[in-house]
Structure 1
Amino acid sequence: MLLLAQIDDTKDLEGKVSSKDGDVAATHVLNTTTKRASITDINGFFSIPVRLNDTLVFSAVQFKKKQIVVTQSIYDSKMLLVPLDDELTELDEVVVTPYNLSGDITKDLLTLEIDPVVTASTLNLPNAYVRVPTKAERELFEATSGGGLIPVTPILNAISGRTKMLKKRLARNKLYNRTLRVREFYTDSLYRTKLHIPETNTDDFFYYCEIDPSFQSIVDTHDLFKIWEFLEKKSVTYLQNNSID
């Protein structure tokens, strides 16, 4: 009876993952025995319910998957340290398949077969809807958080201007992230040949698009037709407002 009680005894195991580059936030921690999952915080710390002989799997896009069996020593430990190895992908050969593209995006999109977008949610991965904080967000969190009766670090960062600088950087990154996503969909030459936007005005044109309240929702659809229609409409008013023929 004592042995059975020990086997069924569950505890919250605390631990910390680490890597060479130190970017260990939002690493998935899955107990494959109980199907319970957790995710590491900004510094790599995690907590997950375990029993003896449970199997834990640590995974993230940038790391090799690691599997650990909860032994008696791990179960009794106060802090489990888990080093992760970087995932390096090397391609021996790259093959480019001809798609007979015409260069006209409005025609090519009708002939191309685009596979559905694969995401963590479509694969039913644990904690799929947890948004991974960006580097700028993590730096701002570290600069504005602190412990003790008097949080010294946030005060020093506020006085030195570091907090204000990090907030500006975060706001700037959010402003341009959507533009970067759209510019990955199409080649820059299309904006000149199809929308008639001069090359020197491309960045200014996208800023003009960004301040439109509907820009974010349209980009988030990942619908290339809707996004291109939006860009076409915005290009007409942009050219008129800037007196560009």
Structure 2
Amino acid sequence: MIKVKAIVYLILCVFQIGLIHSQATEIRGKVTASSDIDRIHVINKTANKFTITNDNGEFLITASVNDTILISAIQYKPMEVLVTSQMIQSKFVSVKLNDKITELDEVVVGKVLTGDLRSDIENSDAKANLNFYDLGIPGYTGKPKTQSERRLHEATTGGGIVPLNPILNWISGRTKKLKAQLARENIDNAMKKTMSSLSEMLFNIDNLEPSKRVEFFYFVTDDANFLPLSKTNNDLKMLEFLQQKLQAFKSQIEDN
């Protein structure tokens, strides 16, 4: 009888351990770091779940035992955490991130400063920039336009009762050409921004050989949804979009 009870107890223990390992549980987490701890990306690479931290560095994410959770932000070194049965039971995980530091050789440029502000200002060659306020004339104080934006503005504006400049540029097709050039520049800038902020995280989740990565991002920009999505500054939605496009890109490569 004692032997039967021992066997039953052993079976129940094995069943309970198996249940813990297979059960998906919502885990509460806390990220600590040297500075900003809000909007840090938290990704369950195994279950393909995403979330971000709040202002206090806290997050909630669904996970099971042996899932891999990636915590990543541009200013910190990425960290991977393997979910253990203890984490599932306590429903809590704490993560400390380390700064991503780029070390530079010490360089001394110009005069050595003493630390005394008044003395350093007097000994320096620094001069205040001359601007239109100093000259007493009106000036543009908005966001500086790019060269393409300035050209388009010049092509579509003009004086007089009937401004000829916009009409001539429209007839000649110059306005259409400048608009297309500006649109392409906006897409390229959005692509560079997306590559800088999300490529490391994306390829940690689903790898792609480095020689194909730039080609992939050009493939992404051909989708009409890319530019509007990039303007929302929603990293989670953009990451999901990139993952979908990556699967389509890989299928296209395989077909070729």
Instruction: Tell me if TM exceeds 0.5.
Output: no
Output the TM-score relative to the length of structure 1.
0.41
Q: TM-score, normalised by structure 2?
A: 0.40
Greater C-alpha Rg: 2
Bigger share in helix: 2
